[in-house]
Amino acid sequence: MNRRELLKMVAAATGSVMIGGEFLLSGCKGNPDSAPVPFTEESIAYLDEIAETIIPQTTTAGAKAAGVGRFMTVMVNDCYTKEDQEIFHKGLNILDDACDKMHGVGFMKATPKQRKQLLIAVDKETKDYVKKQADAVNVQGQKEKQGQERNTNDFKKQALPNHYFQQLKQLAIFGYFTSEKGRTESLRYTPVPGKFEGVIDYKKGDKAFAGLT
């Protein structure tokens, strides 16, 4: 990570920042003393299925084969604030209830098609929420800017809490494309390119390059 990459991250993150990631350079408060809620093997299997629905196996490995469920638990336990951990854990129940409401079965018992239908609906709801959240941050940011002469790093203070599915989707995508399977199968993994070519031809369907990190 260097300044140039950071600039890109900030640009890419407009609208929604990576929760708990290094991309979010907020001054969020640490909570080292409070033990995180443990994840069971059962809940890891549940997370794997959610992730697999977001990034399914196609001609290349999906999120489940890439071990994304277990990775999510590490990120939530180690990188999330207490508040985001609570949102995440509650969200897993909310999602299961929503599945029951929509299909009459819990998520683990639902078919892949039912799961997909559910997550498409939840994703839509989340996008609306994230937009509202971003607008609120902007309004608050403007107010803060007007209220103080000197800038501080508090501009990213969140006016609305994060949405659980925003967390799940981000972690699924992040976990998959930084995993060995995701990088080597779904991207063009080139750990030691050896040269840089500024202009090469590209045709639709060519995969993106990915380096060591």
Residues 135-164 that bind other proteins (CB under 8 A): 149-153, 155
- Tokens 């609208």 correspond to 15
Which neighbouring-strand residues pair with 210? 189
Q: How far apart are CA 101 and CA 110, in angstroms?
A: 12
Least Å distance between CB 194 and other proteins? Answer: 5
Point out which span in 11-19, 38-46, 87-95, 99-107 binds other proteins (CB under 8 A).
11-19
Least Å distance between CB 127 and other proteins? Answer: 7
CB 49 within 8 A of CB 64: yes
Q: Which of 22, 125, 128, 135 binds other proteins (CB under 8 A)?
A: 22
The DSSP letter of residue 96 is H
Rg (CA), the chain: 19
Least Å distance between CB 90 and other proteins? Answer: 19
In this structure, what is the dihedral angle of CA atoms 10, 16, 20, 25, given to the nearest 10 degrees? 30
Q: How far apart are CA 50 and CA 65, in angstroms?
A: 13
Which neighbouring-strand residues pair with 209? 188
- Residues 46-65 interacting with other proteins (rule: CB under 8 A): 53-56, 58, 60, 62
Within a 10 A sphere around the Cβ of 83, how many other Cβ atoms?
14
Which neighbouring-strand residues pair with 189? 210
Least Å distance between CB 64 and other proteins? Answer: 13
Least Å distance between CB 149 and other proteins? Answer: 8
Q: Which is nearer to other proteins, 42 or 201 (CB)?
A: 201
- The reply to whether 20 sits near other proteins by the rule CB under 8 A is yes
- First and final C-alpha spacing in the chain: 9
Least Å distance between CB 137 and other proteins? Answer: 13
- Residues 81-120 interacting with other proteins (rule: CB under 8 A): 81, 116, 119-120
Q: Which of 41, 103, 127, 167 binds other proteins (CB under 8 A)?
A: 127
- The reply to whether 35 sits near other proteins by the rule CB under 8 A is no
User: Count residues contacting other proteins (CB under 8 A)?
Assistant: 87
